[in-house]
Amino acid sequence: MSRGPGLVRPRRLRSSAPVRRLVAETRLHPAELVLPLFVVEGAEQVRPIGSMPGVVQHTRDSLRAAALEAARAGVGGVMLFGVPARKDETGSGACDPEGVLSVAVRDVVAEVGHDLVVMADLCLDEFTDHGHCGVLDAAGRVDNDATLAHYARMAVVLAEAGAAMVGPSGMMDGQVRAVRTALDDAGHHDVAVLAYAAKYASAFYGPFREAVDSSLTGDRATYQQDPANGEEALREVALDVAEGADLVMVKPATAYLDLVRRVSETVSVPVAAYQVSGEYAMIEAAAANGWIDRDRAILESLTCIRRAGAGVILTYWAGEVARWLRAV
Ligand code: PBG
């Protein structure tokens, strides 16, 4: 009489580190990590960001050094955010070729060339005195179509500074088309658009507001998505792909992994996810209290974002994790 195959034992494939490594379905690689960096106009000293231990507001010089370090670690790209010395009603610094962000793009390209992908955030919120992502109409509402004209100009300014990729993050309707058209009209066919396609009105952006000295009062609920909605994200993503997005992003990451999965199964362009400031701060804060194992929590969080379907991950730990990955 045959004894049959016996008990099915999935634990066999977990029995040792080499076996687990052999059958791992998901691997992280430095090349798919993108490091967001903040630079402050006129800053003479690096300033720590209290709610993001380990992340700083850079000077021009320290930004160059940080970009070089990221390139050496094998990071895939950097996403630059500029904090201007002066903010105004229309965020005019955003479209100024001598403004903080354009200067930062030129500096970083001069430092690392195109050893990694130099990306720039394309939004007005760091530059407006009211802190919204667009310009306001007479009634004080964010004026979608008037904002698109600013985004179009900003895209060309950033491309001329040398950005290889721009990340429109303001969630205005038609922003990808406006940016793509402006880039093409100016001859910048090769500059790619990483669309913040499904960006939610999230409390997890809290620490970022400190990072960019945000002046926002109120919220962004009339343009960023409602966390209650998933189908809507698929509509947003489809629109951005139709408008010419080269990559689409879901943001934040951890609380929105269902959408990372659904979006990655729906579109054929690469999908990015942004592990945002609050996700970073929560792990750092818990680890600082001795409540979780910091390094394991970081690797687990990134592995799970990758497993959900993100091919590109923006994370404030990109440099550090890239070094870990290279060491193993
Ligand atoms: C807007 C922008 C924000 C973030 C990236 N781009 C803030 C917001 O939408 O309120 C948040 C990133 C983070 O929290 O790490 N330009």
Asked whether residue 86 is domain-assigned, the answer is: yes
Pocket probe mutation, ligand 1, options 81, 124, 169, max atoms within 8 Å of Cβ: 169
Centre of ligand 1 from the C-alpha of residue 14, in Å: 39
Ligand 1 nearest atom to the CA of residue 205, by list position: 14
Centre of ligand 1 from the C-alpha of residue 139, in Å: 25
Asked whether residue 196 is domain-assigned, the answer is: yes
Asked whether residue 7 is domain-assigned, the answer is: no
Centre of ligand 1 from the C-alpha of residue 208, in Å: 6
Asked whether residue 160 is domain-assigned, the answer is: yes
SS3 238: helix
Domain of 56? 28-220+231-327
Whether the pLDDT of residue 45 is over 80: the answer is yes
Alpha-helix residue ranges (DSSP H) falling in the chain: 17-23, 60-73, 100-112, 144-161, 175-185, 206-211, 231-243, 257-266, 277-288, 294-308, 318-327
Asked whether residue 11 is domain-assigned, the answer is: no
**Number of domains the chain contains:** 1
Q: How far apart are CA 100 and CA 327, in angstroms?
A: 35
Using CA positions, which residue lies closest to atom 2 of ligand 1? 169
Asked whether residue 9 is domain-assigned, the answer is: no
Ligand 1 nearest atom to the CA of residue 276, by list position: 15
Asked whether residue 129 is domain-assigned, the answer is: yes
Centre of ligand 1 from the C-alpha of residue 226, in Å: 15
Six-digit token string for 284: 């750092």
Whether the pLDDT of residue 3 is over 90: the answer is no
Tens digit of each residue's pLDDT (9 = 90 or more) over 128-181: 999 999 999 999 999 999 999 999 999 999 999 999 999 999 999 999 999 999
Asked whether residue 144 is domain-assigned, the answer is: yes
pLDDT of residue 271: 98
The CA distances from residue 263 to 3, 177, 227, 270, 308, in Å, are: 46, 20, 15, 10, 10
Measuring from each residue's beta carbon to the nearest atom of ligand 1, which residues come in under 6 Å?
Answer: 121, 123, 125, 133, 169, 205, 208, 220, 276-277
Tens digit of each residue's pLDDT (9 = 90 or more) over 208-220: 988 888 888 889 9
Active site residue 87: no
Q: How far apart are CA 260 and CA 270, in angstroms?
A: 11
Distinct helix (H) and strand (E) counts, the chain = 11, 10
| Average pLDDT score over the chain | 96
Q: pLDDT category, 2, cuts 50, 70, 90?
A: low
Pocket probe mutation, ligand 1, options 34, 80, 123, max atoms within 8 Å of Cβ: 123
Helix (H), strand (E) at residue 314: strand 312-314
Active site residue 199: yes
CATH code where residue 264 lies? 3.20.20.70
pLDDT of residue 217: 83
Going by C-alpha positions, the residue among 230, 279, 271 that lies closest to residue 252 is 279
Strands (E), 66-171: 77-83, 117-122, 165-168
Tens digit of each residue's pLDDT (9 = 90 or more) over 252-278: 999 999 999 999 999 999 999 999 999
Decide: 191 and 159 in contact? Cβ < 8 Å.
yes
Centre of ligand 1 from the C-alpha of residue 205, in Å: 6
Whether the pLDDT of residue 114 is over 90: the answer is no
Query: Mean per-residue pLDDT for 13-42?
Result: 97
Q: Which residue of the set 199, 220, 262, 306 is catalytic?
A: 199
Whether the pLDDT of residue 74 is over 80: the answer is yes
Q: Which residue of the set 150, 251, 262, 306 is catalytic?
A: 251
Using CA positions, which residue lies closest to atom 7 of ligand 1? 205
